[in-house]
Amino acid sequence: MTVDQIKQRFGIIGHSPLLNHAIDTAMQVAPTDISVLITGESGTGKEVMPQIIHQVGTRKHGSYIAVNCGAIPEGTIDSELFGHEKGSFTGAHEARKGYFEVADGGTIFLDEVAELPMSTQVRLLRVLETGEFIKVGSSKPLKTNVRIVAATNVNIPEAISKGKFREDLYYRLNTVPIIIPSLRERQEDIPLLFRKFAGDFAEKYRMPGVRLTDDGRALLMTYNWPGNIRQLRNITEQISIIEKERQIDADVLRKYLPDHGKKNLPAVRTTSGNENSGDGQTDFSERELMYKVLFDMKRDINDLKKLVLDVVSGQDQDDLTEHHASTIRRLHQDVAPSSSSDFDSQVHEVQIHRGREQAYEEHEEVEESLSLADREIELIKKALEKNRGKRKAASKELGISERTLYRKIKEYNLG
């Protein structure tokens, strides 16, 4: 079978190269018994890949059981997976087969495998290594021939470092990794998915389907989609039911897109590899503040260069212009604001002495601080003074988040 045939059979929409690569990998491993770990953000459609692996492989006539490991209470997960004997615990009135016994010869899909308790991870590792398991309350090992496909939206290497997932189990599961791309990584597929969902809901609710205008399509393609395909489907359903107008433009879509006004910046990849880390926004806020500081420094340096050029070239020999005087005052206030009144008198004195053609001017060179920290402190102070201590307004003035401003105030002891 080809990738396109697989898409048609399993109802997969899209032409993204990343999506095609994931499907092709699933097709390649399907005829084998190799364990597969599927990773991807929540809502990307990871549950389709194990179905492809099962249906295309040699176990297609066997049982296929999908287990959501995060939905089963910790106290009963071992019984659900491996079964139990009668009387093994309170409420065990009769013996019960577990999923690994029922699915013998077939495939088990362990969704959200990172949610398994550590004790259950040990049992699962034994199944992967020896094909054996022991029921709860029994001492007799049983054999099973099961293909295991696991999936998670958790950064497992990070979970390993925190002691929440066994490293040996990770390497056993991750024999062949399949990565499902997020929706923002396959922007070209978003209009296709919207059209498919709109058609489905039009048929379901017996109403004309909604259609996107050009600006509506552009907005959907640039939105971040934190909930991925699941979020897009839900929003399409809301629009199909609520909106009376069937032509959907950007203005209508904005009502349904949370945080649509935020900048759609590239994701920050931390050393842990967790793209969902909350520190990404803070990193960008700090970077924006640094850019603001650098731009202000560049402006001041350019003003100083122009002033020096005017003086050296012999312009305004009889007197310094008011523009020159105000420029000097501003530059000096940025560097040493506490001595601004003394400096005003110095500027006045320089203006007088410039009228004497042969006068020899002795002046102290004021060196501007190039420290980013000093410039940050000065900008924060000015923003707070301008907005009368209102931090929310000051953070908007600086172009950073309130959280970053609070941290900077605490860091520089400005509160």
- Work out the angle at residue 9's Cα, subtended by the Cα atoms of residues 228 and 153, and round it to the nearest 5 degrees: 30
Mean pLDDT of 332-343: 49
Specify the 3-state DSSP secondary structure of 207: coil
Mean pLDDT of 393-415: 78
Find out whether 115 and 165 touch, Cβ atoms under 8 Å: no
pLDDT category of residue 79 using cuts at 50, 70 and 90: very high
Q: What is the average pLDDT value for the chain, to the nearest integer?
A: 81
Q: If you ran DSSP here, which 8-state letter would residue 181 be given? A: P
CA distance 312 to 306: 10
Q: Enter the pTM of the model.
A: 0.62
Residues in the chain, how many? Answer: 415
Amino acid letter for position 157: P
Give the end-to-end CA distance of the chain in Å, rounded to a whole number: 66
Phi, psi of 241 (to 5 degrees): -85, -45
pLDDT category of residue 399 using cuts at 50, 70 and 90: confident
Q: Over the Cα atoms of the chain, what is R_g?
A: 33
Measured CA to CA in angstroms, residue 238 lies from 102, 186, 245 at distances of: 40, 23, 13
CA distance 66 to 385: 60
CA distance 109 to 125: 15
pLDDT at position 276: 43
Domains present along the chain, CATH in parentheses? 3-181 (3.40.50.300), 189-254 (1.10.8.60), 279-306+371-415 (1.10.10), 316-368 (no CATH)
pLDDT tens by residue, 228-277 = 999 999 999 999 999 999 999 999 999 999 875 444 444 444 434 444 44
Proportion of the chain in helix, strand, coil states, percent, rounded to 5:
55, 10, 40
The helix or strand, by DSSP H or E, that contains position 275, with its residue range, turns out to be none
Q: Parallel, antiparallel, or unpaired: how do β-strands 64-68 and 141-143 relate?
A: unpaired
